[in-house]
Structure 1
């Protein structure tokens, strides 16, 4: 070990630079890889909703013969895997963080969980009274709409422009897909939604690498 490492900085400017470098280094260690936060969800939407479009295409067409249960099962499995990956990445990055930031994260997670359970419970009561194609549209459009709204809420809580913009994008394409109708909604969400999340993850990772 060099004895010079124990000496105080020679001037205030050097001390300030050292403090800033240490803060930036700590922030990089605490911030999880953006790819782990975005890409698993993008893959889940791209594959899951893509299978929905292939099996339940517009006007009752079937582009790919699949069991009726398979698209929904694949989507749920991929969503569960994405949630697990994000939870592990977040726990490793924020496990030692306390205070207001940790409290916001816990409350935000509770909003996701309780909001999702409430929405799915209501949809389960209503969708049985609708034709199959409209019931599928109701489920997917409501779930995606909740996702967009919570992304915008998360962006507002942490003043994260990227997260807020992604929430806006998801909300806009969800409206477009809903107006397009059953079948088309799944295609829009698969390509523009899943693809958009993948792009957002790549851009966020690039910004992480270029942080000073």
Structure 2
């Protein structure tokens, strides 16, 4: 081995290139694959809300003879799997990161948890007095609306345009689905919401590769 290989570069251009290479390596190690952060949620929405539309479409006639408990069970199972995947990927990528960025992530996670629990606790006292179709619309529209708002908040915190735009998209399609009414909301969220999250993950991954 040539001992000169271990010496620092002697010219500014080589030094700058070395710094850029090291930054690229560090970025690849710290930044998790965006598809693992987006796609599990996209699949959960596409499949879960899709089953809701098939079992509880607009009107009285179901499109597919599914047990009434199946759509909600599948949706919750897929959402839990998506949350577990995101948590595992995030801990692996950012577990050693400390400082202001880490605090932002922790506080943002608390906003998700406490915001969801407080909203659902209140609705739990209301929905039992509503017809089934309206109760389902209230729950799903609120959950999707909260997701859109927190995505926009996350985009603002980290100045992430893609995350903010996804939050805007989710909020808009949630509004469209809520106005369309029970049944239609599930279809809009499944196709436009779940599909939009899958597309956002593909775009985010492509930009990761370009930055690397």
Q: TM-score band (shorter)?
A: over 0.9
Q: 1:2 to 1:118 in 2, by over 3 A?
A: farther
Residue 24 of structure 1 deviates from its aligned partner by 1.8
Q: Tell me the alpha carbon deviations over residues 23-51 of structure 1, each in whole angstroms, 9 at most, x when there is no partner.
A: 12101110000010000000000000000
Q: Give 2:80's aligned residue.
A: 80
SS at match of 1:14: helix
Give 1:5 shift. 2.4
**Structure 1 residue runs without a partner (length 5+):** none
1:48-197 aligned within 5 A: 48-197=48-197
5+ residue gaps, structure 2, are none
Match of 1:200 in 2: 200
In the superposition, the TM-score normalised over structure 2's length comes to: 0.98
Q: Secondary structure at the match of 1:103?
A: helix
What is the alpha-carbon root mean square deviation over aligned residues?
Answer: 0.9
**C-alpha separation between the residues in 2 aligned to 1:26 and 1:137?**
45
CA shift digits 1:154-175 (9 cap, x unpaired): 0111111110000000000000
Pairwise CA distance, 1:6: 1.7
Q: How many residues align?
A: 212
User: What residue in structure 1 maps to residue 27 of structure 2?
Assistant: 27
Q: CA deviation at 1:13?
A: 2.4
